[in-house]
């Protein structure tokens, strides 16, 4: 029998990979990609929690709320990536680099 804590462990390893990527990568796009990995780890956690910790007596909505939240996180992540990539293109046009330190000033 598979312990649901193993799934949570997988998700936390993924999350920490994402944290490492965001902290150590210089390229803005790579930072955004690592951010996506972190969101993905949280999605796995949400589904696991609602699947295994929903409790007896949770109705239809309660038992599936984790899946619903996951779908919402996906939608928000898609919106975030759209805006983030547009920002990166705008920064690249100005600074001719996508280095994180180039965008640190937030000033033309």
Partner 1 sequence: MEVVFWLSFVVTLLGAAMLVTQKHAVYALLGLLIAFFGSAGVFLALDAPFVAVSQILIYAGALAVMFLFVLMFTDTRTEEDKGLPGAIGSRAVFDPATASSAKKKKKGEEKPHPLSGLVMPKPMAVVVSLSLLVCMVVAIMKLPSSYNAFGELPSVQGATVREGEPAPNYDTKSPRHVKQPDGSLLDVPRHVRYGETAAVSHTIFEGFPLAFEVVSLLIFAAVLGAVLLARRHLAGIPGTQDTAKEQEHA
Minimum CB distance to partner 1, residue 39 (Å): 9
Burial (Cβ within 10 Å: 0-12, 13-18, ≥19) of residue 33: middle
In DSSP terms, 99 is beta-bridged to: 27
Beta-carbon contacts of residue 23 (< 8 Å; ≥ 6 apart):
none
């Amino acid at each position: 029998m598979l312990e649901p804590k193993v799934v949570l462990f997988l998700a936390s390893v993924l999350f920490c990979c994402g944290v490492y990527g965001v902290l150590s990568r210089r390229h803005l796009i790579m930072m955004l990609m690592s951010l996506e990995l972190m969101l993905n780890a949280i999605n796995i956690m949400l589904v696991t929690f609602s699947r295994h910790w929903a409790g007896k007596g949770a109705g239809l909505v309660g038992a599936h709320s984790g899946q619903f939240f996951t779908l919402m996180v996906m939608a928000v992540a898609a919106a975030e990536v759209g805006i983030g990539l547009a920002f990166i293109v705008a920064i690249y046009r100005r600074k001719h680099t996508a280095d994180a330190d180039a965008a640190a000033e937030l000033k033309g």
